[in-house]
Amino acid sequence: MSELEHDEAAPTPAPGREALTPDGAEALRAYAARTREDADRPAAVLEDIALNGLPDPEDCTPWEELRERKLAQLHAARGHVA
């Protein structure tokens, strides 16, 4: 269960705001945690570049290849729609 137990009283929302259900608040917290995790990945890469410098271009994947790979993934996930 979350920090706020279901049997505890929910905090009163600020004026002009609507209270969330306990399940809605928990879902929002879970979304925030996933968003934080997703933001931590590029932040770690930027910190590594700041600390160690840019990687050797010979060791990198060209952006065109990455783009084509992503487009192929999106096409496969979409399926064949007539």
Q: How confident is the model over 35-71, as pLDDT tens digits?
A: 999 999 999 999 999 999 999 999 999 999 999 999 9
In terms of pTM, does the model score above 0.95?
Answer: no
Residue 53 falls in which region: left (phi positive, over 0), alpha (psi -120 to 50) or beta: left
Give tens-digit pLDDT for 8-30.
Answer: 556 787 888 998 999 999 999 99
Q: Are 40 and 34 in contact (CB under 8 A)?
A: no
